[in-house]
Amino acid sequence: MKKHALLISLALLPFFSVFSQVETVKRIEFELKEGFASHDLAKFGDNGILFYSKSTDKKGKTRQWKIEQYATDLELLDTKFIEIPSKQFLDETYSNTTDLYLFFRNYLDDGSK
């Protein structure tokens, strides 16, 4: 009896493996342009995504932030640059299906957050 159960199990084993699949996770990578770091993105569903990053270099008393808009097929649609006082850091972000809000805050006098 044990031999029959073993033979049946071995016979059915290839049948089960036909239906098993490895799940593939889709992944995209964005290359940062030279001179930019601290990146993140906001998803907007059918409206695409916004990818934002800050420059590694200060321009006088400001630091540049770059915001890139991509369509759902990852085609670059637009790029905007904003200047933020270098005394400020990105504290919080908020986004919904149409807007992205970046909230900046001043560093303390000793340079800490």
**Structural domain includes residue 23:** no
Reported pTM: 0.66
**Structural domain includes residue 69:** yes
| Spatial contact of 63 and 86, defined as CB atoms under 8 Å apart | yes
**Structural domain includes residue 8:** no
DSSP secondary structure letters along 32-93:
PPTTEEEEEEEE-GGG-EEEEEEEEEEETTEEEEEEEEE-TT--EEEEEEEEEETTEEEEEE
Average pLDDT on 31-50 reads 83
**Structural domain includes residue 112:** no
| Amino acid 84: pLDDT | 92
**Structural domain includes residue 61:** yes
Of 21 and 71, the one with more pLDDT: 71
**Structural domain includes residue 2:** no
* Domain coverage including residue 80: 32-106
Count of structural domains, the chain: 1
CA atoms lying within 13 Å on the CB side of residue 69: 12
